[in-house]
Amino acid sequence: MVQYQEQLDRTFAALSDPTRRGILERLGRGRATISELAEPFGISLTGLKKHVRVLEDADLVRSEKTGRTRWCSLGPQDLAEVQRWIVGYRLMLDERLDRLGELLERTQGEKA
């Protein structure tokens, strides 16, 4: 139970950062290299590697080196069901709020 709780704490800590959530969202569409991941966020490779490390520690991401390239993909499939549920919830929450902003913009000027 303690181990499980620690796992959840790491999950929450890993998800508390928008860049790391962006990385998860991107990897949900397929594996990517470190530089491919860094590009949309406009941060250094070193900075991105730190984020990947946090995600790896939480078992949310895994990476492997092929030649000189490090490939990242979503973490182990045996990831606790609850952990996957929390990750899914977190990503869904962000998308909801994005879409709410778009709706409000679209309907600007209309009555409340």
Q: CB of residue 68 vs other proteins: minimum separation in angstroms?
A: 26
Please name the residues in contact with 13: beta carbons below 8 A apart, sequence gap of 6 or more: 54, 58
Q: CB of residue 53 vs other proteins: minimum separation in angstroms?
A: 18
Q: CB of residue 67 vs other proteins: minimum separation in angstroms?
A: 28
- Nearer to other proteins by Cβ, of 71 and 80: the residue is 80
* Site for other proteins, rule CB under 8 A: 5, 8-9, 12-13, 15-18, 22, 25-26, 40-41, 81-82, 85-86, 89-105, 107-108, 112
Both tokens assigned to 43: 């941060």
Name the phi and psi angles at 84, rounded to 5: -65, -35
User: What does the alpha-carbon distance between residue 110 and residue 112 come to, in Å, rounded to a whole number?
Assistant: 6
